[in-house]
Amino acid sequence: MRNIRHNRQRRLPHFLLSSLLCSILCSLSAHAKPSDKVIEAKVNALLNKMTLAEKIGQMNQVNYALTEDQALAAIKSGQAGAILNPTGVGEDTDLKKINALQRLALEHSPSKIPLLFARDVIHGFKTIFPIPLGLAATFNPLLVEQGARIAAQEARAAGVHITFAPMLDIARDARWGRIAESFGEDPYLVSQMGIAMIHGFQTNDLSAVDSLGATAKHFFGYGATEGGRDYNSTNIPPGQLRNVYLPPFKAAVENGVVSVMTSFNENDGIPATANRYALQEILRKQWGFRGFVVSDWNATGELIVHGYVQNRKQAAERAINAGIDMEMFTGSFLENLPTLISEGKVSLQTVNDRVRNILRIKYKMGLFDHPFFDEQTAREAFLKPDSLTSARQTAEQSVVMLKNDRQTLPLKSINTLAIIGPLADKPHEQIGTWSWDGDETAVITPLAAFRQEKTLTVLYQPGLEYSRDKSTDAFAKTIEAVKQADAAVVFLGEEAILSGEAHSLANLNLVGAQSELLAAVKKTGKPVVLVVMAGRPLTIERDLPNADAVLYSFHPGTMGGPALRDLILGKANPSGKLPVTFVRQVGQIPLYYNHNNTGRPAPAEEQLDTLDTIPVGATQTSLGNTSYYLDAGRDPLFPFGYGLSYSNFAYGELQLSSNQIHLQDTLTAKVKVTNSSNIDGTEVVQLYLRDPVSSRVRPVKELKAFKRVPLKAGETQTVSFTLTSKDLAFYNGDDHFTAEPGEFQIWVGGDSQHGPQANFRLVP
């Protein structure tokens, strides 16, 4: 399959084009991009001059926010190669502090090696974009790349060199709080979004002054933790590892990612931070990774708690020999490597190799040539009008319309609108998890956005103070406001702190008295629009009857308010699609579209027994039984790839260029897509594939391509995709990536459950 980057809308927005051109010209005028040979020569020359203590120092990432005095001492003595979390990045005092720390390293450390400054820039720096799950819902890699470019420009202007993003964990369990940081459940979608973010952060020239080094995390399997409990164990078999969990990381390496971070979990008894096979055999030898591997926060120290090592000395030994180049926070390398080397448990060659990986990136990023940044002009890069425009466009495309009975939306011919709910005017909650440096004063909430509409009278009653609020004391005046309005828009969901790292949940219903508030508003008889702002898919089946229309907005960031207002009033048309499956009940988890088939798959929902249809005293039997839940059925609430529009899209017959191809051939799939409505809109056309018979049971469907297709009212376009045998291949039981001859099924449609189908054969 041709990289999806070439299948996107080709015309870049003017401001993005200008920004990219400026970046390229500035880069060219400032320096020439050094060759790999020149960089390797410089790295080796520097290594030959360094003492062992300095080399170990380069492998030490110091957390400045918690250990300021220790950090200063470490920098001066050459015992710090990178600084994590210089506090309040972007604030005036800390802008000066970062340059001062760099100056301390260059003037006082033994070999005058510049520091790497690292920060979690996950979905924006000052201008905050939707959380990654929302970015994935756009199915628009161009916008994701654009947002990462803006984040890079803002972060580099404030002295940050490395970010710990993108997170490439496959997330199939909404109980896991860090699903908010993921791009969802599908390896292909996650890969494409990860590639886009890496290109946006790094550009094609790491030495450019506005290039931000990206980190692919968490390597590997972190999204598969048992029960959705953060930091927990995983048990991923080799075939699933190769075919599901590793492809996004392989794509990141192929696209030049600077760094890879190991995960907290252990898989099959081996913690990721000490997994030599994963780090050496797969990452380095098979994939040829040339960047550096960094442990997650104190992950080396946690090898002790896992029960994998006895003490910090053994933890350092296992981690460095497995392939860790840089240790985040723990400090066990500093403490123990000299002794381990003298005892012959760690070789000097291993240390040199690890340090070489770090120095290589510092040279590639041009830090030896331009280690400082202009702190006087840094703020000029923050929250530019063009950046806010991009954030607004991304937020708009990230919203998924799940329901629209009787064309409730868009709201037309209304004079008075009731804005209800605890999340209608909460800037902090709107920007979502992992927004360290986001400027809450720049956030435009939905309430503020609607109040900008001069022809609209807005009546605001939150009803609840915050999402977990259980008090119904304010319900009466809230209902009075709704009765005076032509319609009500109710903003519910979860606070930012309820998702993200270490915030797993066993219950995914709307918390507090939110469901009760929605039901009370519905009883007024007025049209009700529910907007859910959350960091994860919530179980909202019980709430759907109490809303005429539903928009799902994964925490949308700085410009989420104007984006939602425009969608609700019809100034914009919803086009987002679900990057994860929405379950009816938590008990269905894990439920994902690209599952393997069972020997007894369930028939259509209407053919299933339920708790109500089973006779009392029925005889136990297994004959005719299939795989589903008696109380929740077979299907999810909403499938992967699902999303409604104000437009209606009709798919014609799926046509293939041939019903048979050879391994070296390509296959073209074409389908006519028609906007059969009178409203211009954009459809995300998705291509799915199945290998129904193979040497290893394969998923019932797999996403292989997608395109955002804008269609004017009444317009028809022929949408085409090109497949190669690589798109049919998988890792078999021998870990060989191969396409097996036989029959394949192909679908093209608007989600993972619908669309015309065709078959073809792959022959030797």
Render 289-321 in DSSP notation, one character per residue: --SEEE--TTTTTHHHHHTS-SSHHHHHHHHHH
pLDDT at 325 over 70: yes
Tens digit of pLDDT for each residue in 21-37? 444 434 443 455 778 99
Mean pLDDT lowest for which of 207-221, 298-312, 479-493, 729-743?
729-743
Q: Tell me which of 66 and 690 has the higher pLDDT.
A: 690
CATH 3.40.50.1700 fits 390-569, yes or no: yes
* CATH 3.40.50.1700 domain locations along the chain: 390-569
- Across 15-20, average pLDDT: 45
Tens digit of pLDDT for each residue in 550-590? 999 999 999 999 999 999 999 999 999 999 999 999 999 99
Contact predicate 15/335, CB 8 Å: no
Maximal C-alpha separation, the chain = 84
pLDDT at 358 over 60: yes
Q: Tell me which of 734 and 261 has the higher pLDDT.
A: 261
Provide the pLDDT confidence category of residue 735 given band limits of 50, 70 and 90: confident
pLDDT at 12 over 90: no
Tens digit of pLDDT for each residue in 461-501? 999 999 999 999 999 999 999 999 999 999 999 999 999 99
Tens digit of pLDDT for each residue in 284-321? 999 999 999 999 999 999 999 999 999 999 999 999 99
* Catalytic annotation, residues: 296
Query: What span, in angstroms and rounded, lies between the C-alpha atoms of 7 and 214?
Result: 24
Looking at residue 93, its pLDDT comes to 59
Identify the CA nearest to 434 among candidates 663, 201, 181. Answer: 181
- Across 61-73, average pLDDT: 86
pTM, full prediction = 0.95
Looking at residue 733, its pLDDT comes to 81
Mean pLDDT lowest for which of 40-44, 374-378, 646-650?
374-378
CATH 2.60.40.10 fits 649-763, yes or no: yes
Render 342-370 in DSSP notation, one character per residue: HTTSS-HHHHHHHHHHHHHHHHHTTTTT-
Q: Which two tokens stand for residue 711?
A: 């269609």
What are residue 551's DSSP bridge partners? Answer: 401, 531
- Across 8-16, average pLDDT: 42
pLDDT at 7 over 70: no
Looking at residue 30, its pLDDT comes to 43
Q: What is the DSSP letter of 263?
A: -
Provide the pLDDT confidence category of residue 624 given band limits of 50, 70 and 90: confident
Looking at residue 32, its pLDDT comes to 59
* CATH 2.60.40.10 domain locations along the chain: 649-763
Looking at residue 606, its pLDDT comes to 87
- Across 334-351, average pLDDT: 98
Tens digit of pLDDT for each residue in 225-276? 999 999 999 999 999 999 999 999 999 999 999 999 999 999 999 999 999 9
pLDDT at 147 over 80: yes
Handedness of CA 388, 392, 397, 400 (dihedral sign): positive
Q: Which residues, other chains included, contact 749 with Cβ-Cβ below 8 Å and sequence gap of 6+?
A: 651, 685, 686, 688, 755, 756
In this structure, the number of other CB atoms found within 10 A of the CB of residue 6 comes to 7
Mean pLDDT lowest for which of 61-65, 85-89, 296-300?
85-89
- Across 686-700, average pLDDT: 97
